[in-house]
Structure 1
Amino acid sequence: MARQVPPGDFAGTSPVWLRQPDDANELIPLLWSKTARKDDDGILHVGGVAVPDLVADVNTPAYVLDEEDFRSRARAFRDGFAGYDVYYAGKAFLSVAVAKWVAEEGLCLDVCSDGELSVALRAGIDPARIGYHGNNKTPMELRRAVAAGVGRIIVDSTDEIDRLASIAAELISTGALSGPQGVMVRVTAGVEAHTHEFIATAHEDQKFGFSISSGSAFDAASRVAAAEALHLDGLHSHIGSQIFDTSGWEVAARRVLALHARIATELGHVMPEMDLGGGFGIAYTTQDDPADPADLAAQITKIVTGECSALGIAVPHLSIEPGRAIVGSSMCTVYTVGTVKQVALDGGASRTYVSVDGGMSDNIRPALYDADYSCSLVSRRSDAAPVLARVVGKHCESGDIVVKHEFLPGDIAPGDLLAVPGTGAYGRSMASNYNHALRPPVVAVRDGQARVIVRRETEDDLLASDLG
């Protein structure tokens, strides 16, 4: 849901949800990690570490990851969804350190590439607690996953089912696999969640999963159930991303559970599990109002148990896959201001354009999804009146926008530090070397200590694969 707030004195030039603040120095706690605060001098501290001191060591741009915030959000999903398996969706952000935190907090891990699996295995994650997604897993990737003992593979095509059945049978025959490979069938329930078109993943016209309405999902389940080297664990449904209410899950659960019941009746196979995916939203701006994990769990559990009761079937063991909802708000990105200029707008208003030393290479979401973010001056306190600003990157693209709409102090100047909250999900994961930029480091902070868990790329890294 969205919070409607007055547009202040900038009606027509800023969105209705953006409130002109009385004090541009204030942080909005909803948007930041739990340990983030400003001192009396306007200096941002995260995890007990002063951000200007941190970036003095690692330079900018830099991702700052609040370890205690990450762990507390992981625990909130673990405890709120007690009785479920909670899989952290590694695609949001994954490193060896983060994978270890996930395991230490009692979560499972979802990966969707061979590279993500490599990180998980290096971190020492129990392979039985790993789920493997992807719509085009290669034979090499499947073989490695099965041989490693990955607990469940979520299949996405008949080609993959046949490929996986052949590989599993071969490994069983050689003794490399002790029994059938656990499989879930990804289905599309025909539900289009209230989200951006490119991240709505349960409507019919898209690349993921088997359609329930067309019958291909039942056929796929039948195919898996008939393969001796595979075990049909259950159905998997994911309806989209950045979702704030449970209405989409209600419709999806009804359709998925009806298929679950049909498979039990017609195939004689009672699947023990069902995965409802992820997509839980976070607050990027004041228009976002995320739900508490325990409240989400209560609502989703009520939906599933009600549908199972109506169908006369037992409730399967449930799992979910939060990624953004755990890491998104745990991280902020810190930039240094390079230039400031005024741009005239219609009606006599103006906007302050603030250019920073990063951009779409470290956060592609504004350009890719038209995503909104917030930001704050974090290196000093300012008594200047707030001005409407747009924070832009340094890349050679007009769409290289970091924050489309924000009120910043009117004396914002080159050399100031800005921090953008909510960048934990997909910032570093989708970062690129566009314009041959070096991808920024990830610095974990906790209890007054900072440690680099992913170092900044170097020029040697950039040129290592260029054979000249």
Structure 2
Amino acid sequence: MTNEELLACAKELGTPTYVFDTQTFGARLDAVREIWGPKVDLCYSIKANPFLAPTARAHGYALEVCSPGELAICERDGVDPARIVYSGVCKQAADVREALRYGAGTFTAESLGQLTLVDAEAAAAGVRVPTLLRLNGGSQFGMSREDLIYAVDHRDELAGCELVGIHYFVGTQRAKLKWQQRELAMLADLIDELERDHDWRAQRLEYGPGLAVPLFEGQDFSDTLAPARDIAPELAAIAERVELQVEMGRFLATECGYYLARIVDEKDNEGTSYAFIDGGMNHVTYFGQMMGMKEPRIRNLSHDERVRAGEAADEARDWALCGSLCTTADVLVRKAPFEDLRVGDLLAFENIGAYSVTEGIYLFLSRTMPTVALRDGRGVRVVRESMETWPNNCC
């Protein structure tokens, strides 16, 4: 979005406000699909930003949901349940029953215990649900290779689950292609082993590559789709052997989001210039920011407006940009150059389309939650008004 468009949003909607450009998001969804071709099915992980789920579905993406709340969002949005992958740990019996009632198309099993739970509930409901076995990748998620093989060997004992494939996701912002190459080779070998030694052919592979997207100044923003192109040959190869669905969130959603805030105070302390915004770390989270040591892309919309009006600007100097929370942790940028920064200036934080809108510590200090707006070809519309949090913090 242009500075003029963002400035108009800030003036009309107030601050702090998130603006998510669904046209930018949709264009990226389409670009990834074009790069990988029709043999690779695509899935959007809505935990990255649930407000973008309807756009993802409109562009033909399946949706990965990881909680009962996310499932409720999908039902409210009218999502076709057949295109839902119900993932996540700690599913309870009531959660599984609700997902079965809704008709979730695929379940994942994070453990043998979770597989037993889904199987029992599906059998009680008189249905047989497609189920993916999640393979552990070195964290608390997924089951061990031994448990996965055990489940395959005892698949005939399952009355409610039809084992259809494998789910594998390790983590996010993984910039070295060799990691994904090794994983896909390992998964191909596992698929062969299960067919050869256990007489079970995996029909599907649900794979999360965790591709990296740039977030901070000094990183390469010249071609943010390059990781998708780089991994395309490996995905094409395994898609010839198994039905492949690739799930992503951050890589798809990051670039479409902006966070609008206002400078409300400034001061100098012992040689450091501090500026404070009417938001903070409760609204702004960048993966790997390291307590403000890395500098995200931030536009001073008011400075740009003054330049267009022909006003003279002060020289650039370094500022520490802080939030409104009463904690020394609320430093968004420890050192960033700004020209002509003034109280009242409107700022736009870029590349905030993923996670910040839901990941922040919103109840801390009972601060107001930001407005959320979507921008499409018809204009900008508010989808969530700003909300006071204090009623949730008192008796």
Q: TM-score, normalised by structure 1?
A: 0.76
Select 2:11's aligned residue among 31, 48, 56: 56
The alpha-carbon deviation at position 267 of structure 1 amounts to: 2.4
Change (3 A) 1:225 1:400: farther
Change (3 A) 1:290 1:210: farther
- 8 Å CA contact 2:261–2:348 kept in 1: the answer is yes
Select 2:303's aligned residue among 363, 375, 380: 380
- 8 Å CA contact 1:276–1:320 kept in 2: the answer is yes
The alpha-carbon deviation at position 126 of structure 1 amounts to: 0.8
1:132-169, Cα deviation, whole Å (9 max, x unpaired): 12111111111111221111111111110111110011
Change (3 A) 1:247 1:444: same
Secondary structure at the residue paired with 2:357? coil
Matched residue, 1:198: none
Matched residue, 1:129: 83
Matched residue, 1:279: 210
**Structure 1 unmatched ranges of 5 or more:** 1-35, 38-43, 189-201, 309-313, 345-349
Change (3 A) 1:77 1:222: farther
Change (3 A) 1:323 1:225: farther
Matched residue, 2:22: 67
- 8 Å CA contact 1:63–1:333 kept in 2: the answer is yes
Select 1:217's aligned residue among 121, 143, 148: 148
Q: Distance in 2 between matches of 1:207 and 1:369?
A: 23
Select 1:246's aligned residue among 177, 187, 201: 177
Change (3 A) 1:171 1:457: same
The alpha-carbon deviation at position 365 of structure 1 amounts to: 4.3
Q: Distance in 1 between matches of 2:356 and 2:222?
A: 22
Q: Which moved more, 1:374-383 or 1:104-113?
A: 374-383
Secondary structure at the residue paired with 2:302? coil
Matched residue, 1:15: none
Select 2:141's aligned residue among 205, 208, 217: 208
Q: How many residues align?
A: 384
The alpha-carbon deviation at position 99 of structure 1 amounts to: 2.2
Change (3 A) 1:294 1:281: closer
Q: Does 1:93 align with 2:93?
A: no
Select 1:413's aligned residue among 325, 342, 350: 342
Change (3 A) 1:163 1:154: same
Select 1:427's aligned residue among 356, 379, 384: 356
Select 1:182's aligned residue among 130, 142, 147: 130
Secondary structure at the residue paired with 1:353? strand
- 8 Å CA contact 2:258–2:353 kept in 1: the answer is yes
Q: Does 1:325 align with 2:256?
A: no
The alpha-carbon deviation at position 237 of structure 1 amounts to: 1.2
Matched residue, 1:361: 282
Change (3 A) 1:185 1:66: same
Change (3 A) 1:70 1:225: farther
Q: Distance in 2 between matches of 1:78 and 1:169?
A: 36
Q: Distance in 1 between matches of 2:288 and 2:233?
A: 38
Q: Distance in 1 between matches of 2:116 and 2:27?
A: 41
Q: Distance in 1 between matches of 2:147 and 2:290?
A: 30
Q: Distance in 2 between matches of 1:241 and 1:158?
A: 25
Amino acid at match of 2:322: V
The alpha-carbon deviation at position 57 of structure 1 amounts to: 3.0
What is the aligned-residue RMSD (CA, Å)? 2.5
Change (3 A) 1:181 1:245: same
Q: Distance in 2 between matches of 1:183 and 1:131?
A: 9
Change (3 A) 1:439 1:278: farther
Amino acid at match of 1:389: W
Matched residue, 2:310: none
Amino acid at match of 1:150: A
Change (3 A) 1:147 1:295: same
Q: Distance in 1 between matches of 2:241 and 2:232?
A: 10
Q: TM-score, normalised by structure 2?
A: 0.89
Q: Distance in 1 between matches of 2:207 and 2:223?
A: 17
Change (3 A) 1:141 1:291: farther
Matched residue, 1:166: 120
Matched residue, 1:102: 56
